[in-house]
Amino acid sequence: MNGRDMTPALAVEGLAVFHGDTALVRDVSFAIAPGGVLTLLGESGSGKSLLAQAIMGNLPSSLRCAGRVHIAGDSTAAADARSRHAGWGRRLALLPQEPWLALDPTMKVGAQVAETYELVAGGPRGDARVRTDRALASLGLADAAHKYPFMISGGMAQRVAFLATHAAGAPLMIIDEPTKGLDANRRGEVLDLLLAARREGMSLLCITHDIWLARALGGQLAVMLKGEVIEQGESAQVLAAPRQEYTRRLLAADPASWSTPQATHPSTSADALVRIEGIGKAFGPHTLFSGIDAVIGAGEIVAVAGPSGSGKTSFGNIVLGLLRPDSGRVVRAPQLAPTAFQKIQQDPGAAFAPRVTLRQSLRDLVKLHRLDWAELETLLERMRLEPALLDRLPHQVSGGELQRIALARVLLMKPALIFADEPTSRLDPVTQQDVFALLLEHVRASGCALLLVTHDTDIVDRIASRRIVLG
């Protein structure tokens, strides 16, 4: 298809976003042909989400933008956000990240989708219901129409959100991190959804740090770094032969391209840290797992595997002693201190007291256990963290930095076992590789065991020496 003699579905000219005098996004230009796809690839902080917000006309009030945005031939100044608001849903739609959070929890699925047909697309009510039922059925959601969002799975919620944003027939959709934190099956579902939308003739602007998705979607690819598009071209071509050093690094950070693991020594029962004897857990009538036996020895890296909802986090929490099993027991080696088992959480932003500076949180810890502040400083330095970061509140620090601070905090305790619960699912690939490299380096140096939960089978294959399978 030749896009040149057609009006592009979306074109952006010299778009920039400023905070005061600092440019957060600089001089970005691109065009998406009708029915085309552009994937914006970049790490957190590269400005790719700000760019999308600027196109939508939805920037925080403390930021201003410059440049021009053309939507299907209608040209507006980027700063004139208001005139683009009228097109929301009809000409331009946004599928937010973690879309299950964007659904109204008090409203049935069918009604939420019908609402868009009725109010945004502007059809009569009866007609809207018919179209809703047809649309839900086409995505295999016919049974879900009378359910509330909390009654359906995350993948179904994503399809419902897609329908609700798409119902008014916007030919252009901006999709924000559609695969963030999803396991392989769910990623496949999302891809099918996007490919189906493409077949219908929709134009897509997809923001992601998922290289797998960028490759599978095809179309155009733009790589962003520090607010600038540094490389742009046919997706297959850029991914096969990147011209920029940074793009090469980004591709290398994909877990699928990590080097194969060093073998860790197998555990012997002599240095077993914890014995898990026939534990089981159920929530209400739903049994997560039962009769799981395992022994974790010092220095082992063990992955907990199983489909979504199989209780991987609950299993880890039982091992840590945070949760009581319904049956069986967990026996720790007797010489271990009560704080010998530590956890690294999925969302580092939620792992620190939210209204206390990081310095205060860490100082409390050092004081409590009579540790050495200098040791913490060395750790932070090895994690390549600026000491000045500690004077901020947790939400003022980026996810990658915060996860490294969380890692330093855990390592300071000289743990015998670390339970890492999806430690990088909210981080971009470069940061993910960084955090894993640091984690593994310290785990190997200190001889501490690692119990890992991740949805990413590539990571499991490359890191873990053994798996505990649930479900």
Partner 1 sequence: MTMHTLSSDDFIDPAAGRRRPGRAQISGMVLLAAIACFAVFGPWLIGIDPAVQQLERYLEAPSLAHPLGLDQLGRSALARLAHAAQLSLALALISVLSAAIPGTLLGLLAAWRGGWLERVLAAIADAVLALPGLLLVLLLAAFAPGGFWPLYVGISLALWVEYFRVVRAATRILMASPHVEAARLLGFGPLHIVRRHLLPELLPRLFTLMRFGFAGAVLAMAALGFVGVGLQPPTAELGVMMIELLPYYGEAPWLIGAPVLVLFLTLLGLLLLSPETEAA
Cβ-based nearer residue to partner 1, 217 or 406: 406
Q: Which residues of 314-331 are buried (b: 16+ CB within 10 A; e: fewer)?
A: bbbbbbbeeeebeebebe
Cβ-based nearer residue to partner 1, 208 or 220: 208
Cβ-based nearer residue to partner 1, 361 or 457: 361
Rounded Cα distance between 367 and 163, Å, is 53
Specify the pairing of strand 220-225 against strand 272-283: unpaired
Rounded Cα distance between 60 and 341, Å, is 41
Shortest reach from residue 105's CB to partner 1, in Å: 12
Question: DSSP 3-state assignment of 157?
Answer: helix
Shortest reach from residue 261's CB to partner 1, in Å: 27
Shortest reach from residue 37's CB to partner 1, in Å: 18
Cβ-based nearer residue to partner 1, 58 or 310: 58
User: Which one-letter DSSP state was computed for residue 368?
Assistant: H
Rounded Cα distance between 463 and 453, Å, is 11
Q: Which residues share a beta bridge with 12?
A: 30, 69
Shortest reach from residue 155's CB to partner 1, in Å: 19
User: Which one-letter DSSP state was computed for residue 91?
Assistant: T
Shortest reach from residue 58's CB to partner 1, in Å: 6
Rounded Cα distance between 130 and 117, Å, is 10
Cβ-based nearer residue to partner 1, 72 or 413: 413
Shortest reach from residue 45's CB to partner 1, in Å: 5
Rounded Cα distance between 38 and 204, Å, is 6
Cβ-based nearer residue to partner 1, 66 or 413: 413
Report the interface residues with partner 1, using CB under 8 A.
19, 24, 44-50, 52-53, 56, 58, 60, 62-63, 94, 96-97, 101-102, 176, 207, 320, 322, 338-339, 341-343, 345, 347, 350-356, 360-361, 364-365, 368-369, 392-393, 395-400, 406, 409, 413
Which H or E run contains 115? helix 109-115
